[in-house]
Every structure is written in C-alpha cells, then in structure tokens.
Structure 1
Amino acid sequence: MNPNKALWEKGDFTQIAQNMRESGEELVASLGITKDFTVLDLGCGDGTTAIPAARLGATVVGVDIARNLVDAGNRRAKAEGLTNCTFQEGDATDLHELKDHTFDLVISIFGAMFAPKPFDVAKEMVRVTRPGGRIVMGNWIPGDPTLVAQILKISSAYTPPPPEGFISPMLWGVESNVIERFEKAGVAKENITFQKATFTFHAPYPPNELVNKFRNYYGPTMNAFEAAETNGKALDLQHELEALFASQNKSTDSSTTSISANFLLVTVKC
C-alpha cells in the first residue's frame, strides 16, 4: 500500500478534526467564497474546510488519500443535506481524475503538505486551478514553538530515521521552499503571498485527554508511540506530550482545552 495512504488510514483523524471545526469555519469565511465558486479541498479529511465552503453555496469537491476520511466526509455532507459537496479518494501528487483549469479555488489546509513529491503536488494544484483562480494552503511551520510543530518535533525523537530521499512535510512551512515549488509549476514569485495565522484546537475535555486522542487516532503520533513502546520509552513520550499540551492550554477551565497553533497561510494567484 502507498505509505502515505497507510499513515492516514491508520487512525481516525475525525477524532482530531472535531476539535478544529471552529477555526476551519473562520478560515473559510475569510476567503470570499460565493455560490458561484467551484472549490477543490485537497487533503480534505472529513471536511473541516470543505463543509463550511459548501454551506456558503460553492460547488465543492473534497479529495483525500484516506478512504475512511472520504467516507466520513460524504456522511457529513449527506447529514447536512449538502448536495453541492462530494468527497472522493485521490492522491495530491497525481490528480489525474480532475481536469485542467476546473476550480476557482483550491484549498489545502494541513493536507497536501503531507504528500510526498512536493513539486508534483504544486504542479497538480496549479494545473487544476483556472487562470485567475487561487490556491490557498495552510502549512505547519518547522521549529515553531506552538502545538503541532512541537508534537511532530517531540514525536520524531522517538521514531527511527526516515527512509533515504524522504522530504519533510514541514518544509511546506518555509517560504523559500513554497516559492521554489510553485515557480517550478509556472507561478511568478510576485503572485505568492504569505502570512502567519493560527488554528485553535477546542476540546470539551482536559489537555491530557487530547493527548490520548493524538496517541490513539493521529497517524504520526501513533507511529511514534509504537516505536517508543519497542524501546520502553512510551511513558516518556506520554509525559513529554502531556507537559506540552498542559503548558499551551489557554482555557481557564481545567476540564476543557483551548490550544492555538501557528501556521503559514499561503495564497497563490494563478
């Protein structure tokens, strides 16, 4: 099986996405989407940004490599009666099932950044965007002191070195790399803009329970715990993550969680 597909089908990202809904809606509301838009949400999960875009009346296609998340997204759309929103399985490095210049807006929030072959990903996003359209990416930032970058940094210390030729998904959070990838896809540097933004994880339970959600349902963290268990270090990893989550929790109620994470918001004009 495709290793990336295996990673994201391993857990159940819907358990994490439930804590990201509010920020997903806020981000979509800022994009000027109307009912005339055709939108592709790439690496869509179960619809954290696709569903709010469809609620605004846009025609939305969500594409994800994980079959379980595609199925979950279609269930959500059906439950809300959103006939203008469909989810399908696909690979961000090769969107052969999608025609050239189809979409007014291509969104990928913490999605396509995890696909291998980043130059292919950029090329495909540009290819399916119509001239005059936009690509909007949200990418975690390497070394950032906030939650997700630190989860991935801590987890990497417990896992074996990646295979030769591996390109870190976090490099999508470096402006120079983003520019290089989209320039190779035919986009002029001046048509690529950046800003730092935040996504907030809201949970109706304490931070240590959110840690357990990541441990049990988030593929990269699941892999880190499996590796740590073989080395007898799973408890160390648990303690590190619990300390991180507790230190970053901004909720004034100890029984709930509110943690913000910085990301790089990329806008590409095609």
Structure 2
Amino acid sequence: MNANKALWEKGDFTRLAESMRTSGEAIVAGLGIAFDSKVLDLGCGDGTTAIPAAKYAAQVVGVDIAENLVAAGARRADEQGLTNVTFQQGDASDLSELADDTFDLVISFFGAMFAPRPFDVAKEMVRVTRPGGRIVMGNWISGDPTLVAQILKISSAYSPPPPEGFISPMTWGIEDNVRERFGAARVPADNISFIRDTYTFETEGSPSDFLATFKTYYGPTMNAYEAAEANGRAAELQDELEALFTSQNTSTIDTATRIPATFLRVTVNL
C-alpha cells in the first residue's frame, strides 16, 4: 500500500479544488507561458493549474499520484474541449516514464511538496526540465498563521505520530531546505529565487460549510477527525477548526467565504 497514494485518493479533493479555480487561473496567467512550450504540472490534482496552462501552452502533461484525480482532470479537459493536455498517474519522486530535458516549464502548486523523498522530487524535476527552462513551485509555509498551514498544524496535533523517517511536506516552505534539495540536483543557489505570495480560496456558503468540505473530502483532515473521534476529541478538533475558518474569512457576504493563504513561491532557472 502506497500511503501517499491512499491519502490523496481518500475523500474527493475535487470538491475542495472548486474553491481554488480562480487563484489557479491567476497564477497560470502570470507565469508567462509561451504558446509553443511544453509544460509539466506535478501533483496536478484535477487540473486547477494544468487546464488553465493548456490555454497558453502547446502541450501540457499533468501527473498526480491519485488515480481518481487523474480521471477527474481528464474529464474536465474533455468537457472544455482541450486536446493539448493529458493526465497520467505517477509519483513526483520517480518520473521514470518521462524523458530527460522534455519540458520548458515544470510547475507544482501544493502538489510535489507532499510527495515522499524530497531530494528525489527535486532531482526529477530538474531532470525532466530542458536547459534554459524553469521550475515554479508553490509550497505552504511551516508555522505560517494563514489557513492551510494552520489546518495541517492543528490536524497533526490530533493525529497519530508519523512513521519513522517521515519528512514533513511543510519543510518545502523553508528556503534553506529548497536550496539544499535543488543544490543536490546541481542547481546553483543563485538560480533559485523566492517570494511570499497569496492563494485565495473562494466558495459559496459559510466558513462552517467550507470546513465541512475539508472534513468530508480532504484526506489529511479526514484522518485527523478519525483519530480525534477514536480518542474522544472530535468536538475539540471541530471547535479549533471552526474558530480558524471563521477568523480567516475575509468575505463580507454571509453566503460566501473568501480566505487568503500565504505560500512560498519558488522559481528555479536552469
């Protein structure tokens, strides 16, 4: 059993991804994708960034560990009549099905950071990017006070200890770690740049409704609730997350939720 695969096939991440579409489109629009370029989206989910990228690039390949999300992405592309984007199941730690020096741009927003073996992830991203190409990652930041970092922090307090050797995905939000990982793949530190950026979740309904989406469909939160229930702490977890979602909501409309979250944008020039 691949634990990472099982985590992301649990629930239905597409339900959460609906709240991420607008920011996904805005991020892609700002990447300066050339019309004749080849783009790889790692940890693509159901295509929140892969599908917008296909409207700019010649060819887009989306890779995700979860087969249900790969299928969902293919359905969305078909519904939109996009024939230049394909989705395939794969592990960002081992992209052996993809050839060296293939892509002009490799992107991964909140995807590859969750793959195991981060040094292998960096090595593989560099390997499949052509010389002169770019890698752009969006990574949640450890200890950040905004939504996703706090969800993962709170959830971890109610979950069983991770297995021995586990490396937190949040370590991808630490600049020195990013430099070290790409440095091991022979990328000079001067070729790596960082900015703090904002991703905004937007959805209909109240913050409580949005929390219910995480509780019902987002693997890490589902696991936290299951563990909390087993330990008689489900109500405590619910109260913490309710307070978080309510305090982070910036919408002035009762029937809508809008929550900005800070992330680390990493750009690697090869």
Structure 1, gaps ≥5 residues long: none
Contact 2:41 2:106 in 1 (8 A): yes
Contact 2:39 2:59 in 1 (8 A): yes
Contact 1:36 1:58 in 2 (8 A): yes
State the distance in 2 between where 1:167 and 1:57 align. 34
CA RMSD of aligned residues (A): 0.6
Contact 1:33 1:58 in 2 (8 A): no
1:58-137 superposed matches below 5 A: 58-137=58-137
* SS of residue paired to 2:158: coil
State the shift of 1:57 in Å.
3.7
Contact 2:38 2:57 in 1 (8 A): no
State the distance in 1 between where 2:255 and 2:243 align. 16
State the distance in 2 between where 1:35 and 1:230 align. 52
State the distance in 2 between where 1:192 and 1:50 align. 23
Letter in 2 for 1:181: R
Contact 1:198 1:262 in 2 (8 A): yes
Contact 2:40 2:61 in 1 (8 A): yes
- Matched with 2:30 is 30
1:133-212 superposed matches below 5 A: 133-212=133-212
* SS of residue paired to 1:20: helix
Letter in 1 for 2:124: E
State the distance in 2 between where 1:123 and 1:11 align. 30
State the distance in 2 between where 1:35 and 1:90 align. 26
State the distance in 1 between where 2:97 and 2:57 align. 23
State the shift of 1:11 in Å.
1.3
Contact 1:171 1:177 in 2 (8 A): yes
State the distance in 2 between where 1:204 and 1:194 align. 32
Runs of 4+ in 1 over 3 A off after TM superposition: none
State the distance in 1 between where 2:237 and 2:110 align. 23
* SS of residue paired to 1:182: helix
- Matched with 1:264 is 264
State the shift of 1:35 in Å.
1.6
State the distance in 2 between where 1:55 and 1:75 align. 16
Letter in 2 for 1:151: I
Overall identity of the aligned pairs, in %: 71
Deviations 1:114-136 (A, max 9, x none): 00100000000000000000000
Contact 2:35 2:58 in 1 (8 A): yes
Q: Number of matched residues?
A: 270
- Matched with 2:9 is 9
State the shift of 1:239 in Å.
1.1
Q: TM-score, normalised by structure 2?
A: 0.99
